[in-house]
């Protein structure tokens, strides 16, 4: 089945769909910091670099599915949380514009759990209604998932909109199956002693990294960062991998940060040398990108950004597999019904 991808980023969602057997024939990403990474890791996908706002629907290939994660910063529960009032939040409408014009069998849209806070309820209801009524209409399923339940070594709550075109006559059911938790030790222990600090001004070490992208951002830690513990143990799962490198979790080789007073923590005295941010490669592992997926950038901040904004590959694959299975089961049922109908006497 053919899929097109919007807001593709580095392609975590796309890779998961490819691993599930879908053919991602076309993808769109406007952020030039990501272009080289996407093109080199998805060589068989036609890549469009325009803003979705500037893409006429008739220039998007016909497809069986449309997938994407419209920019989520404006919906975040942290910060301003401007939601649909922000131009980035409004890009959701362009996603719906393309959906309405192309009318694929299904769509999947991913966003942050911040969409669920009360101040966004009216906008969220409006988006749901637009998705349901796009073209001939879609049966919409909507659920928040934690990636930690789906072979991803990270606490990461995200919401998913999955729609099935109404003429297919079934509604997508989110699977109830979950998996044992994967620990940081399982995910990244083999990388512990190979990481390099970024160069001055957080420039990349490039080919000098013994493992591709295994370098970490240098520089101080903000008061906000030091307001709570940022260390998870080896036998735990990672905190959410964010798009900002300065907010990357601390490597589990360090002891958990010491509480001094409310909202004030310090690195354990005498152990300060153990406290470093997770590397770009370690964050990629935690987001379940494969080892041969190389991120291309000049500033390490760009590496953290493209990884932190991605859908974890294993979670994407799990959802893609379930969509494929349900679509195939529906097609098989329809074929059987048609065969039985044809056998009826005239």
- Strand pairing category for 23-28 and 157-165: unpaired
Sequence-separated (6 or more) residues with CB below 8 Å from residue 128: 140, 142, 161
In order of 16, 115, 150, 300, 324, the CA distances from 175 in angstroms are: 16, 22, 11, 37, 12
| Euclidean distance between CA atoms 28 and 60, whole angstroms | 10
Which tokens go with 192?
């512990």
Q: Give catalytic status of residue 209 as yes or no.
A: no
Burial 196-228 (b: 16+ CB within 10 A, else e): ebbeeebebbeeebeebbbbbbeeeeeeebbee
Where does residue 149 rank: exposed (0-12), middle (13-18), buried (19+ CB within 10 A)?
middle
CA atoms of 86 and 64, how far apart (whole Å): 30
Inter-residue contact 24 to 13 (CB < 8 Å): no
Which of 63, 72, 209, 283 is flagged as catalytic? 72
Backbone angles phi, psi at 39, to 5 degrees: -65, -40
DSSP 273: G
Cβ contacts of 120 within 8 Å, gap of 6 or more: 75, 81, 83, 84, 114
What is the spatial distance between Cα 36 and Cα 334, in angstroms, rounded to a whole number? 43
Helix or strand run (H / E) with residue 188: helix 184-188
Residues comprising the chain, all counted: 346
Q: Tell me which DSSP letter residue 307 carries.
A: H
- Whether 63 contacts 95, CB under 8 Å: no
Which residues are catalytically annotated? 72
């Amino acid at each position: 089945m053919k899929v097109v991808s919007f807001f593709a980023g580095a392609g975590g969602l796309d890779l998961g769909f490819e691993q599930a057997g879908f053919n991602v024939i076309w993808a769109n990403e406007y952020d030039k910091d990501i272009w080289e990474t996407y093109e080199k890791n998805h060589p068989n996908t036609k890549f469009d670099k325009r803003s979705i706002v500037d893409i006429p629907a008739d220039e998007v290939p016909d497809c069986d599915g449309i997938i994407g994660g419209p920019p989520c910063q404006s919906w975040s529960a942290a910060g301003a949380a401007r939601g649909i009032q922000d131009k980035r939040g409004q890009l959701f409408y362009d996603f719906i514009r393309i959906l309405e014009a192309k009318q694929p069998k299904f769509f999947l849209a991913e966003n942050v759990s911040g969409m669920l806070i009360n101040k966004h309820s009216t906008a969220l209801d409006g988006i749901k209604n637009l998705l349901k009524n796009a073209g001939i209409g879609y049966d919409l399923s909507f659920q928040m998932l934690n990636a930690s339940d789906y072979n991803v070594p990270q606490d990461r709550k995200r919401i998913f909109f999955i729609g099935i075109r109404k003429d297919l006559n079934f509604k997508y059911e989110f699977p109830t199956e979950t998996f044992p938790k994967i620990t940081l030790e399982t995910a990244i222990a083999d990388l512990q002693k190979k990481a390099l600090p970024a160069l001055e001004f957080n420039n990349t070490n490039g080919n000098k990294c013994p493992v591709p992208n295994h370098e970490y951002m240098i520089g101080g830690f903000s008061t906000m960062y030091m307001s709570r513990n940022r260390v998870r143990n080896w036998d735990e799962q990672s905190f959410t991998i964010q798009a900002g490198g300065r907010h990357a979790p601390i490597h589990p080789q360090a002891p958990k940060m010491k509480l001094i007073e409310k909202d004030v923590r310090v690195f354990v005295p005498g152990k300060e040398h153990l406290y470093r941010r997770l590397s770009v490669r370690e964050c990629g592992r935690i987001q379940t990108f494969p080892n041969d997926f190389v991120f291309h950038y000049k500033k390490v901040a760009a590496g953290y950004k493209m990884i932190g904004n991605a859908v974890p590959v294993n979670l994407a694959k799990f959802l893609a597999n379930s969509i494929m299975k349900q679509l195939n089961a529906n097609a098989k049922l329809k074929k059987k019904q048609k065969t039985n109908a044809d056998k009826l006497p005239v």
